[in-house]
Amino acid sequence: MESVGELGESGVLGRVLARMGEARAAVVGPGDDCAVLRVRGDAVVTTDTMIEGPDFRLAWHDGFELGWKLAATNLSDVAAMGAVPTALTLALAVPHDTPVALLERVAEGLDAACRVLAPGCGVIGGDLGRAPVVTAAVTAIGELEGRAPVLRSGARPGDVVAYAGELGLAGLGLSLLFSEAADADGTAHDRTIAELWARHPEVLAAQLAPAPPIPLGPIAARAGACAMMDVSDSLSIDADRLARASGVRVRLETERLEGAFGAQQGVRVPVDAMLTGGEDHGLLAVFPADVELPVGFAAIGSVHEGDGVRLDAAALEPRGWDPYTVRPPGS
């Protein structure tokens, strides 16, 4: 199989960029010193790096899923500001003997995620370097269309707490992978991956190629959301961050969580998994009580004076999956 080292930087970059559609807002695409991007209103910018080992395992992730997840996790940060994603840049650094085909699959996954989750958004620039392990850095840019950004700090007592997207499924997927596709020391292997995809496609897709509801970010902003963030670490951790940023208490309700998210994609999801599972990248949004929630959002709680996060009447300890230390229940 042709390697990156054999093809050379510009050859690889050409093959990778050819697999990705244009960004609608691109005035000048890849190939000059910079890309040029049309922006309406203020721009939002976020950056995220995924590194083989700590952040993903090639035994579990195909290149396509890796590219998809890279795009999805950055797009959800843009959506969480109430902005419309317009462009991504992709910096890849890989070992010399990496098959070019792997990078082409990354590009295809990234492109597919843009097309499906954020139509019109595309890759406007890239960079390719050498590294001991596969290293991918994505920067995502979005436009606010003249609106103010929706920050984490805008929640006020009396507001409604809502969530849109999958909740806890990605964490169940990670738990399943550690339980069924890792050796006793936690090292990922691919011996059972095909079988797991056949038996549990929902939770594996949620973990390996999450599909957050990107268009609901600007829709929530237009509807009047006063605080918003994407849930990357876990609902309990990120609700705590929102509560701190806003100087309020967030109260989540078991009954509402069970009612809205107890069954997702035909999978039974326990409330504990909703509270502690990370990486779903759905939108945690806060709306004034008189706002009708946009379709796609479910009310899961309310905002009060005080601090921290409660589940019903009880204090809730922020807790999430840590892929380095957590072993799934029963293992």
Give the integer Cα–Cα distance in Å for 318 and 241: 9
Tell me if 245 sits within 8 A of 153, measured CB to CB.
yes
Please report whether residue 326 would count as binding a copy of itself according to CB under 8 A. no
Please report whether residue 186 would count as binding a copy of itself according to CB under 8 A. no
User: Minimal distance in Å, beta carbon 314 to a copy of itself?
Assistant: 26
Please report whether residue 192 would count as binding a copy of itself according to CB under 8 A. no
Query: Per-residue x/- mask for a copy of itself, residues 219 to 258, rule CB under 8 A?
Result: ---------xxx--------------x-------------
Q: Is 322 annotated as a binding residue?
A: no
Question: Can you name the residues that pair with 228 across neighbouring β-strands?
Answer: 285
Q: Is 290 annotated as a binding residue?
A: no
Please report whether residue 32 would count as binding a copy of itself according to CB under 8 A. yes
Q: Is 62 annotated as a binding residue?
A: no
Q: Determine the angle formed by the axes of helices 169-180 and 201-208, rounding to 10 degrees.
A: 100
Please report whether residue 142 would count as binding a copy of itself according to CB under 8 A. yes
Q: How many residues lie near a copy of itself (CB under 8 A)?
A: 59
Q: Which residues contact 210 (CB under 8 A, 6 or more apart)?
A: 69, 72, 73, 166, 170, 279, 280, 281
Strands 314-315 and 249-252: unpaired
Query: Per-residue x/- mask for a copy of itself, residues 51 to 80, rule CB under 8 A?
Result: x-xxx--------------------xxx-x
Please report whether residue 93 would count as binding a copy of itself according to CB under 8 A. yes
Tell me if 107 sits within 8 A of 67, measured CB to CB.
yes
Please report whether residue 276 would count as binding a copy of itself according to CB under 8 A. no
Give the integer Cα–Cα distance in Å for 145 and 33: 27
User: Minimal distance in Å, beta carbon 218 to a copy of itself?
Assistant: 13
| Among 81, 161, 174, 250, contact with a copy of itself (rule: CB under 8 A) | 81
Tell me if 244 sits within 8 A of 307, measured CB to CB.
yes
Q: Is 272 annotated as a binding residue?
A: no
Count of Cβ atoms closer than 10 Å to residue 165 Cβ: 26
End-to-end C-alpha distance for the chain, whole angstroms? 38
Q: Is 126 annotated as a binding residue?
A: yes
| Among 49, 179, 192, 254, contact with a copy of itself (rule: CB under 8 A) | 49
284, 153, 121, 34 alpha-carbon torsion, rounded to 10°: -150
Q: Is 156 annotated as a binding residue?
A: no
**Applying CB under 8 A, which residues contact a copy of itself?**
27-28, 32-39, 42-51, 53-55, 76-78, 80-81, 83, 87, 89-93, 124-127, 129-133, 135, 137, 139-142, 144, 149, 151-153, 228-230, 245
